[in-house]
């Protein structure tokens, strides 16, 4: 009896041990959302990667949360790709208590493109496996104020591009009829009014066309001015923006773009990660014996990166009162120096030309006095090359049968350093 009882207990224990792992696996489930504008494909997998259930629901936080709440198991993680609707769905589902993570779409695409077929159901299944394995990089969703600031700056940038496009359209249409817009004192508006009043009198049917373009440009300028006033008001109230504006070359737009891009600076463990986040670090390629650095990656926020480039250009190429951020460039000993405050012709360069590298000097004669091809004098930083002491090179001898040789100048012809 005891032996039989022992067998029964052993069988019962083994049966319970066989059920226990399955119960633990089914305890934690992972979900993934493939979001589109109308419908969202959802896939639910267990800890072993087995598909539990799949469905398509409306792209609505209430519908998605209600479907997930009716599924068995403990929902450990819900993943979705970055996209236009990701911010809205992440905030709404997080408020409903769902553990939502946002996946980088570039990383997810590297895995999903291995599938032979592409459908919403297969994409949701692949995203569920990525969420289950944890082989992804979570994207941080920024705060509401950061997205509002970003929308304000993006709207202003769009209006500025529209204004530039209208001005280029006016210039191009006038060239068709032989009228050159050119550059005149008074700006674009004054020059356009002169052309409409004087040069288009021979073709009066063109006047309404260009007047419509000028009215559209005037309205866009008014909207840009309104947004600029709003940006200045926000910049005065934001402490971080005011701190960034103390940097030479950084205005309210650049400072607000940086604040909106970073949002929470504490998420960067190192300061060098901020440059990589904006795509300002070079790419790295290494394979076997090949190891090289490429150009900057240009990943991340393109608008913020453009604003930072403009600020750096202003620091290096404009007179900002001796900024400490300006690093003195190393002048090559054979480079052609410039006079303080202008070029060698006496005219000050603009912001574009002033940031160029020092223009190399004229190519020296390789058959110089000392035979090394180098000038035996020290160049002054702000001295013209014409004012430098010239080294006298003796004329070349002309032997008839022997190879060409060159005589060196005597020591007296070389000026001491």
pLDDT digits (tens, 9 = 90+) for 5-29: 333 333 333 443 444 444 444 468 9
**Strand, helix or coil for residue 399:** coil
Mean pLDDT, rounded, for 355-382: 44
The average confidence (pLDDT) of the chain is 77
Question: What six digits make up the tokens of 94?
Answer: 């997080």
- The confidence score (pLDDT) of residue 200 equals 82
By C-alpha distance, which of 337, 388, 375, 387 is closest to 359?
337
Helices (H) and strands (E) in the chain, counts: 12, 7
- The confidence score (pLDDT) of residue 178 equals 85
Q: For 216, phi and psi rounded to 5 degrees?
A: -65, -40
pLDDT band at 395 (very low <50, low <70, confident <90, very high): very low
Statement: the pTM of the whole predicted model exceeds 0.85: no
Q: Say if residue 310's pLDDT is above 50.
A: yes
- The confidence score (pLDDT) of residue 323 equals 54
Mean pLDDT, rounded, for 345-368: 46
Q: Say if residue 122's pLDDT is above 90.
A: yes
- b (16+ CB within 10 A) / e for 287-310: eeeeeeeeeeeeeebebbbebbeb
- Report the distance separating Cα 179 and Cα 173, nearest Å: 9
- The confidence score (pLDDT) of residue 128 equals 93
- The confidence score (pLDDT) of residue 373 equals 45
Tokens 């910049």 appear where?
235
Q: Cα 56 to chain center, whole Å?
A: 36
Contacts of 405 (CB under 8 A, 6+ apart): 397, 399
Q: For 333, phi and psi rounded to 5 degrees?
A: -65, -20
By C-alpha distance, which of 83, 81, 120, 115 is closest to 100?
81
Contact 404, 396 (CB under 8 A): yes
Q: Say if residue 100's pLDDT is above 60.
A: yes
pLDDT band at 77 (very low <50, low <70, confident <90, very high): very high
- Report the distance separating Cα 76 and Cα 99, nearest Å: 7
- Report the distance separating Cα 389 and Cα 379, nearest Å: 9
Mean pLDDT, rounded, for 305-330: 72
pLDDT band at 198 (very low <50, low <70, confident <90, very high): confident
- Report the distance separating Cα 279 and Cα 283, nearest Å: 9
């Amino acid at each position: 009896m005891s032996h039989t009882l022992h067998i029964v207990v052993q069988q019962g224990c083994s049966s319970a041990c066989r059920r226990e792992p399955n119960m633990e696996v089914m305890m934690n489930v992972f979900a993934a959302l493939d979001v589109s504008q109308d419908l969202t494909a959802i896939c639910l997998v267990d800890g072993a990667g087995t598909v539990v259930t799949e469905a398509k629901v409306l792209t609505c936080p209430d519908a998605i949360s209600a479907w997930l709440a009716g599924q068995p198991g403990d929902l450990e993680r819900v993943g979705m790709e970055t996209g236009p609707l990701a911010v809205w769905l992440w905030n709404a589902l997080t408020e409903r208590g769902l553990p939502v993570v946002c996946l980088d779409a570039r990383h997810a695409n590297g895995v999903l493109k291995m599938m032979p077929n592409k459908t919403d159901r297969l994409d949701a299944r692949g995203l569920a496996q990525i969420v289950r394995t944890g082989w992804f990089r979570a994207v941080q969703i920024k705060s509401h104020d950061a997205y509002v600031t970003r929308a304000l700056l993006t709207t202003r940038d769009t209006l500025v591009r529209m204004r530039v496009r209208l001005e280029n359209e006016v210039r191009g249409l006038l060239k068709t009829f032989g009228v050159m817009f050119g550059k005149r004192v008074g700006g674009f508006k004054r020059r356009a009014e002169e052309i409409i009043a004087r040069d288009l009198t021979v073709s009066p049917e063109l006047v309404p066309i260009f007047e419509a373009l000028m009215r559209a440009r005037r309205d866009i300028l008014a909207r840009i001015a309104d947004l600029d006033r709003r940006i200045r008001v926000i910049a005065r109230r934001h402490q971080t923006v005011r701190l960034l504006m103390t940097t030479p070359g950084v205005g309210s737009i650049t400072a607000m773009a940086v604040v909106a891009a970073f949002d929470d600076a504490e998420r960067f463990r190192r300061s060098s990660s901020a440059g990589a986040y904006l795509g300002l670090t070079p790419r790295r390629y290494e394979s076997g014996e090949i190891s090289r650095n490429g150009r900057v990656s240009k990943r991340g926020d393109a608008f913020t990166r453009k604003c930072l480039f403009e600020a750096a250009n202003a620091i290096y190429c404009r007179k900002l009162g001796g900024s400490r951020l300006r690093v003195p460039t190393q002048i090559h000993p054979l480079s052609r120096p410039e006079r303080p405050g202008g070029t060698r012709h006496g005219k000050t360069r603009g912001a574009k030309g002033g940031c160029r590298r020092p223009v190399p000097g004229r190519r020296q004669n390789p058959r110089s006095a000392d035979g090394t091809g180098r000038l035996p004098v020290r160049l002054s930083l702000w001295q013209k090359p014409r004012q430098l002491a010239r080294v006298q090179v003796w004329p070349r001898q002309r032997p008839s049968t022997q190879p060409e040789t060159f005589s060196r100048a005597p020591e007296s012809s070389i000026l001491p350093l």
